[in-house]
Amino acid sequence: MPKQSDVLAADFLVKIAEEFGTPVYIYHAEKIKTQYEKLQKAFHKADTRFFYACKALTNINILKYVNSIGCGLDTVSIQEVQLGLKAGFDPKNIIFTPNCVDLQEIIAAKDLGVIINIDNLSILEQFGNKFGGSYPISIRLNPHIMAGGNFKISTGHIDSKFGISIHQMRHIERIINSTKLKVTGLHMHTGSEIKDVDVFLRGVEVMLEMVQHFPDLESIDLGSGFKVAYQQGDPETDIDLLGRKLSEAFNTFAKTYVRPLQLWFEPGKFLVSQCGYFVVKANVIKQTTANVFVGVNSGFNHLIRPMFYDAFHLIRNISNPKGTERIYTVVGNICETDTFGWDRKINEVREGDYLVFYNAGAYGFEMSSNFNSRLKPAEVLVKEGKPHLIRRRDTLEDLLKNQIELQ
């Protein structure tokens, strides 16, 4: 059994790999709770709610656990809404913030009773014309703030497809006045992996300037984007400092507003990234004129972040943790370039050893595919020291189940 701490021990990960096979995603439930409690503590001086951005990881057991600790749910598709309801979330604790969907998906969310967040003028007008003020909504604004770890995860800049520009307030007001829409929330999200607390402060300044146009607000939602560390010494968002500064700014403003306001956030990666471990097996050690490759039994079909975002994941040999450090390039078994990490110092790797990728809880399995007709891996949840299989690995039948053979 592992110690009840934030980190699962290497020997325990090996036991899970031996029991359930590899590749395997492993999640630590109590780490999710620890991260949630960090946020609650940091923002305890303001009336604050948190909604888990479940696009990071939607396994039904993760959703049930998040619901059990009192966190709400942030969704971006009607299917995520349905998963949240199936996991037991109250519709009033689910935010639906889609992008580039048609009105029918918005109506489907309305019929399920969840909080709807609209991010473009066309849908805002269509919804208002159809329902008026009978169903209150939130509006996602684009604050024109460049933020995030890289351009691909920046969502609040001037060229972003997300949100309605703050410079289109006249259009928003025209629609609200003509359709009698009731707007009870304002939302923004500038990007992911934001290290600078001042970015959030600039965002809240913009939002508070916009509040004057909306007399019926109940919440201001600042999205998320909290940065977590991927290796020792890695910069991360100072959650305590952020909580202190944002709470002060928000509370000062809230006293002047006509009704009580809540501050909302939608953490995804912050809650589940560090809870996740991805364990693979070393298939081959291949030396070339320039590199020593460790080829593993996985690829970007299972963990695409290093190839898609140039994301860093710490890789360790959990079968030989005291071996002599050597320099390896870790690659996958996909018939494309799928490099997980160049020139990494790793304890000597032998064919058959298990390697673990840390910080694999967010956008790991969730972005996986069956490319090369490879099978998706299993998922295991460690809760109260005991591992539970929460998704069996794919079989060939899974690849074929939706295909229709012509006779």
Residues annotated as binding site? 225, 305, 309, 336, 363
Q: Do 222 and 267 meet the contact criterion of CB atoms below 8 Å apart?
A: no
Report how far residue 328's alpha carbon sits from residue 285's, in angstroms, rounded to the nearest whole number.
9
Would you call 335 a catalytic residue per the annotation? yes
403: CB partners within 8 A, 6+ apart: none
Could you tell me the two tokens for 383? 């809760």
DSSP tally for the chain: helices H, then strands E: 12, 18
User: Strand 183-187 and strand 164-165: pairing?
Assistant: unpaired
User: Strand 219-221 and strand 325-331: pairing?
Assistant: unpaired
Q: Where are the beta strands (DSSP E) in 54-125?
A: 72-75, 94-96, 115-118
- Could you tell me the sign of the dihedral formed by the alpha carbons of 60, 64, 67, 71, in that order? negative
Report how far residue 228's alpha carbon sits from residue 306's, in angstroms, rounded to the nearest whole number.
16
Half-sphere exposure of 103 (CA within 13 A, CB side): 11
- Short-list 131, 193, 133, 139, CA closest to 166: 139
Q: Which residues are annotated as a binding site for pyridoxal 5'-phosphate?
A: 225, 363
Q: How many angstroms separate the Cα of 70 from the Cα of each of 6, 73, 112, 265, 276?
A: 20, 10, 20, 14, 21
Report how far residue 62's alpha carbon sits from residue 87's, in angstroms, rounded to the nearest whole number.
9
Half-sphere exposure of 241 (CA within 13 A, CB side): 11
User: Strand 183-187 and strand 137-142: pairing?
Assistant: parallel
User: Strand 315-317 and strand 72-75: pairing?
Assistant: unpaired
Q: Which residues are annotated as a binding site for substrate?
A: 305, 309, 336, 363
Q: Which of 54, 100, 275, 335 is catalytic?
A: 335
Partners of residue 95 on adjacent β-strands = 74, 115
Distance in Å from the first CA to the final CA of the chain: 53
**Catalytic positions, please?**
335
